[in-house]
Structure 1
Amino acid sequence: MESETMNYKYLGNSGLKVSVLGFGNMTSGWAEGTEQWNFECMNKCVRGGINFFNTAEVYGMGSAETILGNNLKQGGWDRDDLIISTNLIPTKVIGIQGLSRKRLRQAINHSLQRLQLDYIDVLYLHRFDYEVPLEETIRIINDLIDDDKAFYWGTSEFTPQQLSECHRICEKHGWIPPIVEQAQYHMFEREKIERDYVPIFREYGMGTTVWSPLAGGLLSGKYNDGKIVPGRAESGLAAAVYKQKFDNYIGNRKEDAVRTLKGLQSLAEELGCTQSQLVLAWVIKNPDVTTAILGASSPGQLDENLAAVEVVKKITPEVLARIEDLLGNRPNPSMNWRTFTPNPPRR
Structure 2
Amino acid sequence: MESDSMEYRYLGRSGLKVSVFSFGNMTSGWSDEAERWNFECIDKCIRSGVNFFDTAEYYGLGVAETILGKNFKQGGWDRDDIIVSTKLNPYGFGVQGLSRKRVRQAINNSLSRLQLDYVDVLFMHRFDPETPLKETIRIFNEIIDNDKAFYWGTSVFTPQQISECYTICEKHGWIPPIVEQCEYNMFERENIERSLVPIFNQYGLGATVWSPLAGGLLSGKYNDGNLHPGRYDTDLFGGRLREKFEKVIGGRKEAAIRTFQGLKAIADEIGCTQAQLALAWVIKNPDVSTAIVGASSIKQLEDSLGCIEVSKKLSPEILARIEDALGNRPAPSMNWRNFTPNSPRR
How high is the TM-score relative to the length of structure 2?
A: 0.97
Q: Secondary structure at the match of 1:77?
A: coil
Q: How many residues align?
A: 343
Gaps of 5+ in 1: none
Tell me the equivalent position of 1:324.
323
How far off its partner does 1:252 sit? 3.5
Question: Aligned letter for 1:17?
Answer: K
Tell me the equivalent position of 1:144.
143
Tell me the equivalent position of 1:103.
102
Question: Aligned letter for 2:76?
Answer: G
Root-mean-square deviation (CA, aligned residues, Å) is: 1.2
Tell me the equivalent position of 1:204.
203
What aligned pairs does 1:269-308 form with structure 2 within 5 A after superposition? Answer: 269-308=268-307
How far off its partner does 1:246 sit? 1.4
How far off its partner does 1:43 sit? 0.7
Matched, 1:47 2:47: yes
Matched, 1:266 2:274: no
Q: What do residues 168-217 of structure 1 show as CA deviations (whole Å, max 9, x unaligned)?
A: 00000110000000000000000000000000000000000000001111
Q: Secondary structure at the match of 1:293?
A: strand
Matched, 1:90 2:90: yes
Matched, 1:116 2:103: no
What aligned pairs does 1:183-202 form with structure 2 within 5 A after superposition? Answer: 183-202=182-201
Question: Aligned letter for 1:298?
Answer: S
Tell me the equivalent position of 1:15.
15
- The whole-number CA distance in structure 1 between the counterparts of 2:30 and 2:257 is 30
Instruction: Tell me, yes or no, if the aligned pair for 2:28 and 2:294 is still in contact at 8 Å.
Output: no
Tell me the equivalent position of 2:60.
60
- The whole-number CA distance in structure 1 between the counterparts of 2:42 and 2:232 is 27
Instruction: Tell me, yes or no, if the aligned pair for 2:29 and 2:38 is still in contact at 8 Å.
Output: no
Given the superposition, is the C-alpha separation of residues 253 and 31 from structure 1 closer, same or farther in structure 2, using an over 3 Å criterion? Answer: farther
Question: Aligned letter for 2:153?
Answer: G
Tell me the equivalent position of 2:215.
216
Question: Aligned letter for 1:201?
Answer: F
- The whole-number CA distance in structure 2 between the counterparts of 1:252 and 1:208 is 32
Tell me the equivalent position of 1:128.
127
How far off its partner does 1:146 sit? 0.1
How far off its partner does 1:95 sit? 6.1
Question: Aligned letter for 2:208?
Answer: T
Tell me the equivalent position of 2:36.
36
Gaps of 5+ in 2: none
Instruction: Tell me, yes or no, if the aligned pair for 1:186 and 1:212 is still in contact at 8 Å.
Output: yes
Instruction: Tell me, yes or no, if the aligned pair for 1:6 and 1:20 is still in contact at 8 Å.
Output: yes
Question: Aligned letter for 1:151?
Answer: F
Instruction: Tell me, yes or no, if the aligned pair for 1:11 and 1:290 is still in contact at 8 Å.
Output: yes
- The whole-number CA distance in structure 1 between the counterparts of 2:311 and 2:287 is 15
- The whole-number CA distance in structure 1 between the counterparts of 2:228 and 2:49 is 31
How far off its partner does 1:242 sit? 1.8
Percent of paired sites with the same residue = 69
- The whole-number CA distance in structure 1 between the counterparts of 2:153 and 2:235 is 30
Matched, 1:310 2:309: yes
